[in-house]
Amino acid sequence: MIKVLFFASLREQLERDVMEVEPEGLADVAQLRSKLAGQGAVWQRALGNDQLQVALNQKLSTMDAAICDGDEVAFFPPVTGG
């Protein structure tokens, strides 16, 4: 399974902070994002944002990064720490 996390405004929009997704047929983050976005209008809106950032196994990553079973993928808006 792929563990998927959501943070900040994305977490609120989707009303969840974590979910598990079957890895079959998902080669990269972009495909995972498309699959999730296909779950409805709210998902489409939240994950369709071109500012969306992603971390793969707790490191900032890019949408073309390859994923596999056991990975942790986090989606979130641009960070605003400090």
The residue among 1 and 79 lying less far from another protein, judged by its C-beta, is 79
Annotate each residue in 1-30 with x if it binds another protein (CB under 8 A) or - if it does not, as one string. Answer: ----x-xxx---------------------
CA geometry: angle at 50 spanning 45 and 53, to 5°?
100
Starting at the earlier edge strand, list the strands of the sheet with 18-21.
18-21, 2-6, 72-76, 53-56, 59-60
Considering the rule CB under 8 A, would residue 59 count as an interface residue with another protein? yes
Residues that bind another protein (CB under 8 A): 5, 7-9, 51, 55, 58-60, 74, 76-82
